[in-house]
């Protein structure tokens, strides 16, 4: 499998090189030259396959032999060694809980898979690898945990100062060793711009081997397909009434940088049944507006309760356009979108807890509301939304609902560790000096 740049001004590369480079030199994103299709053999015993085997068969065509099968299966097994329950909330709406991993967020999957791929590929390299990642919340903690103490790898995390929750900040600033956390005096888009600038800096790359752990990296993005398959297996065996005429779920994904929903759509194109995808955003509504008007109009990011989605320029949307060959009408057939205000988000959190006893985080609340509205306007369908992080990771949950619910033991331990971070301005030269100091 070869990967080309979405800007089409850089050479195509294999999975190994795409993982190590992170981003093409022309500042595009790597995208597979062909999208594989799942065979009948995959589906014939789908219900009985172990999760690691499903992951292996889904990802193997994208890796295309650049990791031997035994090692790839081991990487998959380590990546998905926790639960991904699909929990019914109403007769028509279920939640796919993706917060049962080490850092209580869906990004544990991509970070685990990528860290193990990079460790495998780094054995062949003599120089140290520096992984740079911008985070609006959960990515930083997942990457820090996934790469912690990996030999030959330094991790530099950029996060917007004062714009992540206390638990999120502790998860990315309390490890130390090979993890460096940078508090950037700006927003997530500033962090993402700094990371992209570093990855495209030819002068820097002569001195530092730099790669990215954001979802722009194919090894972070592609494994997010896995849990859509786990959801579908539960959908057909536990959630969906076999007497119902509804067969394929509507899938609603809280969306910020659009890597997660892009992975779900990719899984659908490979053969995963799905009726519709909904991109649920907060008031950072560039993509909902694009789907409504056909025009991409950028505007500054706005801070919201669902802070991980406070993204004005979603990098991965270009990959969604590639999936649909930039055909706007074809895209609209499969993808809907909705923008949800903070007031509606908070009201949804309270209402769902009071009526159904289910505690939503602000991102899940955006997803629940968008899915509920879609189903009201399209009767006779049902679906699930992604609950992407544990409610305890967001300070607003207790303020709005009055409880964090059952707090995992791992959270308490975070408060006993000292914070380790470096404050910087959104200035590339300042970042570059820090990166050069890692050599």
107 belongs to the catalytic site:
yes
The pLDDT-based confidence of 206 (bands split at 50, 70, 90) is: confident
Q: What is the pLDDT of residue 244?
A: 60
CATH number for 315: 3.40.50.1100
Q: Is residue 323 part of a domain?
A: yes
**Residues of the domain holding 371:** 83-105+221-406
- Is residue 394 within 8 A of residue 364, CB to CB? The reply is no
Q: Is the pLDDT of residue 35 over 90?
A: yes
Mean pLDDT across the chain: 92
CA 111 to chain centre: 9
Q: Is residue 276 part of a domain?
A: yes
Q: Is residue 327 part of a domain?
A: yes
The pLDDT-based confidence of 275 (bands split at 50, 70, 90) is: very high
Q: Is residue 132 part of a domain?
A: no
Q: Is the pLDDT of residue 439 over 70?
A: no
Helix, strand counts (H, E) of the chain = 20, 14
- Residues 393-414 have a mean pLDDT of 89
Q: Of 270, 216, 211, which is closest to residue 59 (Cα–Cα)?
A: 270
**408 against 422, higher pLDDT:** 422
Q: What is the pLDDT of residue 306?
A: 93
Q: Is residue 348 part of a domain?
A: yes
Q: Is the pLDDT of residue 373 over 60?
A: yes
- Residues 247-258 have a mean pLDDT of 94
Q: Which among 9, 27, 107, 207 is annotated as catalytic?
A: 107
Q: Is the pLDDT of residue 240 over 80?
A: no
Question: pLDDT tens across 111-157, in order?
Answer: 999 989 988 887 766 677 899 999 877 788 888 888 898 888 899 99
Q: Is residue 45 part of a domain?
A: no
Q: Is the pLDDT of residue 65 over 70?
A: yes
The pLDDT-based confidence of 333 (bands split at 50, 70, 90) is: very high
How many domains is the chain built from? Answer: 1
Q: Is residue 162 part of a domain?
A: no
Q: What is the pTM of this model?
A: 0.90
Q: What is the pLDDT of residue 146?
A: 86
- DSSP for 142-185, written as a single string: HHHHHHTT-TTEEEEEEEETT-S-HHHHHHHHS--TTEEEEEES
Q: Is the pLDDT of residue 282 over 90?
A: yes
Sign of torsion over alpha carbons 288, 334, 276, 137: negative
**438 against 59, higher pLDDT:** 59
């Amino acid at each position: 499998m070869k990967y080309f740049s979405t800007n089409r001004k850089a050479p195509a590369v294999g999975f190994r090189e795409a993982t190590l480079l992170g981003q093409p030199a022309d500042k595009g994103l790597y995208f597979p030259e062909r999208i594989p299709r799942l065979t009948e053999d995959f589906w014939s015993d789908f219900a009985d396959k172990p999760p690691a085997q499903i992951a292996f068969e889904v990802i193997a065509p994208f890796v295309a032999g650049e990791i031997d099968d035994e090692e790839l299966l081991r990487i998959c097994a380590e990546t998905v060694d926790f639960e991904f329950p699909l929990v019914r909330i109403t007769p028509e709406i279920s939640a796919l809980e993706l917060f049962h991993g080490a850092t209580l967020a869906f990004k544990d999957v991509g970070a685990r898979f990528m860290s193990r791929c990079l460790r495998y590929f780094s054995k062949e390299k003599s120089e140290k690898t520096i992984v740079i990642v911008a985070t609006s919340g959960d990515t930083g903690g997942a990457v820090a945990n996934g790469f912690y103490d990996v030999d030959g790898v330094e991790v530099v995390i950029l996060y917007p100062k004062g714009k992540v929750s206390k638990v999120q900040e502790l998860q990315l600033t309390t490890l130390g060793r090979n993890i460096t956390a940078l508090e950037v005096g700006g927003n997530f888009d500033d962090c993402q711009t700094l990371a992209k600038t570093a990855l495209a800096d030819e002068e820097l790359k002569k001195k530092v081997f730099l790669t990215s752990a954001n979802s722009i990296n194919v090894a972070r993005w592609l494994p997010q397909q896995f849990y859509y398959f786990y959801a579908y297996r539960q959908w057909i065996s536990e959630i969906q009434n076999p007497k119902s005429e509804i067969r394929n779920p509507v899938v609603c994904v809280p969306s910020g940088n659009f890597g997660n929903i892009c992975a779900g759509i990719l899984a659908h194109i490979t053969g995963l049944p799905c009726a519709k995808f909904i991109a649920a955003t907060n008031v950072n509504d560039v993509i909902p507006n694009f789907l409504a008007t056909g025009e991409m109009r950028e505007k500054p990011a706005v801070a919201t309760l669902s802070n991980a989605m406070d993204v004005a320029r979603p990098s991965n949307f270009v990959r969604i356009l590639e999936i649909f060959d930039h055909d706007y009408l074809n895209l609209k057939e499969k993808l809907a979108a909705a923008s949800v205000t903070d007031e509606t988000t908070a009201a949804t959190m309270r209402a769902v807890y009071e009526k159904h006893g289910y505690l939503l985080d602000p991102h899940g609340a955006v997803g629940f509301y968008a899915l509920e509205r879609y189903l009201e306007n399209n009767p006779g369908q049902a679906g699930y939304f992604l609950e992407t992080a544990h409610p305890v990771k967001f300070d607003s949950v207790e303020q709005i609902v009055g409880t964090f619910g059952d707090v995992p033991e791992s959270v308490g331990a975070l408060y006993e560790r000292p914070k380790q971070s470096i404050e910087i301005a959104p200035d590339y030269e300042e970042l570059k000096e820090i990166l050069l100091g890692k050599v």
